[in-house]
């Protein structure tokens, strides 16, 4: 009887923006062997890559510049790439945030075509606190989390060009995409922080580790 690999080697991208300690701790609890990396060359040997992020879109893309080419190459080669919060928004093509803040155009990774837009003035910004996940299509990341609650802190949300890229939605005056994925399924992101979302977040991180082991 063959012994299945039970620990995924996951690289967390350290580009100067992100809640690295809690993301690392959450992944380790989920069964990952985590490497914090400032070196894109370390992506090759990893089973999966996590792109965390807090802060502004344009600053995120500036900081992630040295990683851009390697992230796109790894994603296109099929490696599991998981963006968290700002990291999820960076998977898309553009964001209104850069223009809104007077920072001009900032180009995302364009791995999931679409735009990040600001919540309307009718809504309190940022959207902060616990809110419900409504899973809209199957994906390994969301197994067992439909109807559960996760922890959000954000003022912008993703609007993918292809509605099938939306894996789960959340209601905050409007139904927005709280989990997205590309067509191939290996690039995905959560607008919320799984590392701050209790058992629901841990389940998602475990689903991610399992996905890394299976691909």
Please write the tens of the pLDDT for every residue from 61-102.
999 999 999 999 999 999 999 999 999 999 999 999 866 565
Strands 48-51 and 81-84, bridge-based pairing: parallel
Sorting pLDDT into bands at 50, 70 and 90, what band is 106?
confident
Average pLDDT over residues 107-136: 95
Whole-angstrom distance between the N-terminal and C-terminal Cα of the chain? 20
Q: Is 195 a catalytic residue?
A: yes
Q: Looking at the DSSP assignment, which residues form a beta bridge with residue 116?
A: 95, 158
Q: Which of 59, 154, 195, 212 is catalytic?
A: 195
Q: What pTM, to 2 d.p., does this model score? A: 0.95
98-117: buried (b, 16+ CB within 10 Å) or exposed (e) per residue? beeeebeebebbebbebbbb
In total, the chain counts a number of residues equal to 215
Q: What is the pLDDT of residue 4?
A: 58
**What share of the chain in percent tops pLDDT 70?**
94
Provide CB contacts within 8 A for 120, sequence distance 6+: 173, 174
Number of other CB atoms surrounding residue 160 within 10 Å: 20
Q: Catalytic residue among 59, 85, 127, 154, which?
A: 85
Active site residue 127: no
Neighbours of 167 (CB within 10 A): 23
Question: For residue 165, which of 107, 88, 71 has the smallest C-alpha distance?
Answer: 88
pLDDT tens for each residue of 132-154: 999 999 999 999 999 999 999 99
In 61-95, which positions are buried (b, 16+ CB within 10 angstroms) versus exposed (e)? Answer: bebbeebbebbeebbeeebbbbbbbbbbbbbbbbb
Is position 193 annotated as part of the catalytic site?
yes
Most confident range (mean pLDDT) of 101-105, 121-125, 194-198 is: 194-198
pLDDT of residue 17: 87
Average the pLDDT over each of 92-106, 112-126, 168-182 and give the range with the smallest value. 92-106
Q: Mean pLDDT of all residues in the chain? A: 93
Give the contacts of 58 (CB within 8 A, at least 6 positions apart).
95, 97, 98, 101, 103, 104, 106
From 127, 149, 154, 193, active-site residue? 193
């Amino acid at each position: 009887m063959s012994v299945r690999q039970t620990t995924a080697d996951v690289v967390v991208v350290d580009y100067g923006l992100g809640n690295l300690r809690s993301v690392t701790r959450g992944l380790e609890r989920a069964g990952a062997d985590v490497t914090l990396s400032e070196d894109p060359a370390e992506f090759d040997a990893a089973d999966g890559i996590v792109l965390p992020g807090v802060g502004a879109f344009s600053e995120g893309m500036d900081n992630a510049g040295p990683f851009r080419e390697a992230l796109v190459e790894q994603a296109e080669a099929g490696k599991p790439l998981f963006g968290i919060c700002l990291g999820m928004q960076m998977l898309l093509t553009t964001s209104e945030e850069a223009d809104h803040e007077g920072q001009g155009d900032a180009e995302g990774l364009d791995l999931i075509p679409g735009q990040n837009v600001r919540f309307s003035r009718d809504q309190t910004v940022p959207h902060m606190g616990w809110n419900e996940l409504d899973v809209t299509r199957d994906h390994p990341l969301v197994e067992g989390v439909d109807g559960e609650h996760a922890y959000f802190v954000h003022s912008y949300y993703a609007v993918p060009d292809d509605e099938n890229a939306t894996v789960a939605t959340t209601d905050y005056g409007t139904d927005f995409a709280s989990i997205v994925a590309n067509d191939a399924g290996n690039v995905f992101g959560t607008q919320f922080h799984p590392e701050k979302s209790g058992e629901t977040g841990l389940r998602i991180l475990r689903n991610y580790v399992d996905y890394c082991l299976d691909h």
